[in-house]
């Protein structure tokens, strides 16, 4: 799949499902539940145990789903993720070296930025999508103020986004959102509720497709 094809899927789906787990055992079932619920773009973060292995497994098990690597802080992590099959990279911060590594590998980058300076720096360096992070702290008025003079940028809102406020962010001008723990339902015993997680994903994707 080409970089353009990957990017087009991310832009058309508009939702990035973030998988950040403390237990490696929970990753595979979480991925399966999100995919069953209609998620087509998954980010497995580098601070999830055995994240490289889980990227490889997700690519094999869910071939019609994009699997990327998140919380990519260094060039070393970026190269390891690419070697494991990551189809895109996501950072929490503005690190233009990672843009170069991803470009050489032919995959997109969703680059974290917060201030207008960081956002413009990431864009000018070639970031394919800007990840406004942490968006929940910044707020929708901040996003609108920043994007007024920078209205040609693709902004994904990430951090503090949930199933209740995602629609507001999309209607306010974000082209996409990233959601993690809010999608992962837990039962009374504290364990992952797979059925409700599937329902959460379905409801979110239905809302997005209705816009």
Instruction: Kindly state the greatest CA–CA separation across the chain.
Output: 49
φ and ψ at 171, to 5 degrees?
-70, -25
For the chain, how far is it from start to end, CA to CA, in angstroms?
27
pLDDT band at 5 (very low <50, low <70, confident <90, very high): very high
Q: What's the whole-number average pLDDT of the chain?
A: 95
Question: Is there a contact between 113 and 129 (Cβ–Cβ < 8 Å)?
Answer: no
Question: What is the pLDDT, as a whole number, of residue 184?
Answer: 87
Q: Which one from 13, 53, 118, 131 is the annotated catalytic residue?
A: 131
Percent of the chain, pLDDT > 90? 90
| Helices 25-36 + 194-210 axis angle, to 10 | 40
Q: Which one from 3, 5, 43, 171 is the annotated catalytic residue?
A: 43
Question: What is the pLDDT, as a whole number, of residue 27?
Answer: 93
Question: What is the pLDDT, as a whole number, of residue 161?
Answer: 96
User: What is the arithmetic mean of pLDDT over 130-155?
Assistant: 95
Question: What is the pLDDT, as a whole number, of residue 64?
Answer: 95
Residue 182: how many CB atoms within 10 A of its CB?
16
Q: Is 171 a catalytic residue?
A: no
Going through 54-153 in order, the beta strands assigned E by DSSP cover: 66-70, 89-90, 109-113, 129-132
Top pLDDT among 194 and 91 is at 91
- Domains assigned to the chain: 3-210 (3.20.20.70)
Q: Is 22 a catalytic residue?
A: no
Nearest alpha-carbon partner for 19 in 143, 202, 201 = 201
Inform me whether the pLDDT recorded for 17 exceeds 80: yes
Inform me whether the pLDDT recorded for 189 exceeds 80: no
What is the per-residue pLDDT across 121-132, written as a single tens digit (0 to 9) for each? 999 999 999 999
Inform me whether the pLDDT recorded for 40 exceeds 90: yes
């Amino acid at each position: 799949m080409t970089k353009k094809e990957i990017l087009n899927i991310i832009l058309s789906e508009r939702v990035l499902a973030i998988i950040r787990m403390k237990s490696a055992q929970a990753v595979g079932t979480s991925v399966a539940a999100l995919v069953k619920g209609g998620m087509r773009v998954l980010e497995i973060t580098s601070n999830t145990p055995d994240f490289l292995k889980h990227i490889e497994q997700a690519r094999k098990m869910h071939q019609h789903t994009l699997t990327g690597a998140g919380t990519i802080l260094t060039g070393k992590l970026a190269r390891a993720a690419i070697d494991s099959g990551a189809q895109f990279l996501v950072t929490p911060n503005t690190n233009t070296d990672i843009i170069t590594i991803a470009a050489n590998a032919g995959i997109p980058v969703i680059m974290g930025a917060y201030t207008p300076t960081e956002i413009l720096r990431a864009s000018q360096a070639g970031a394919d999508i800007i990840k406004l992070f942490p968006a929940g702290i910044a707020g929708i008025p901040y996003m609108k103020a920043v994007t007024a003079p920078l209205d040609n940028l693709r902004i994904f809102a990430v951090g503090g986004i949930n199933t209740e406020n995602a629609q507001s962010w999309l209607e306010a001008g974000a082209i996409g959102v990233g959601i993690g723990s809010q999608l992962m339902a837990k039962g009374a015993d504290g364990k992952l509720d797979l059925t409700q997680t599937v329902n959460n994903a379905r409801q979110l994707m239905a809302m997005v497709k209705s816009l």
